[in-house]
Amino acid sequence: MVDTFYTRLGEEALTRLVAAFYRRVKADDLLGPMYPPEDWEGAERRLRDFLIFRFGGPDQYIQERGHPRLRMRHAPFKIGVAERDRWLDLMGAAMKEVGIPEDLAPTLGGFFAQVADFMRNHEEG
């Protein structure tokens, strides 16, 4: 088996990470309202499947959704510095909660920071 981030971290850890993240998002006053209340399960599944694929696991996300097109899919939402920072704060707390190993946390955190900044589509002011 090829040694990938996915094989080192595992699907179960990514599933727990995404669940911990969405527990926080549901209660968050800034990010929570961006999500359709009837689609929390779908949002959680899509992020989990995306992360699994992105880090070397099965390509369920691609089979179901095609190319991620993250900016296009997030275009309807105002994502500025505050939204980016909150997303990163909630994901960082989720990473700590599930105990992402110290040797993997910088890679995962760096990826999240890059993607969160890429999602910005609104300048404050």
Residue 26 has pLDDT above 90, yes or no: yes
Residue 72: is it exposed, middle or buried by C-beta count within 10 angstroms (0-12/13-18/19+)? exposed
Instruction: Report which of 19, 22, 31 is spatially closest to residue 74, judged by C-alpha positions.
Output: 31
CB 17 within 8 A of CB 98: yes
Please provide the average confidence, as pLDDT, over all residues in the chain. 88
Question: Based on the number of CB atoms within 10 Å of its own CB, is 87 exposed (0-12), middle (13-18) or buried (19 or more)?
Answer: buried
Residue 11 pLDDT level (bands cut at 50, 70, 90): very high
Q: What is the arithmetic mean of pLDDT over 55-84?
A: 77
Contact assessment for residue 82 and residue 36, using Cβ atoms and an 8 Å cutoff: no
pTM above 0.85, yes or no: yes
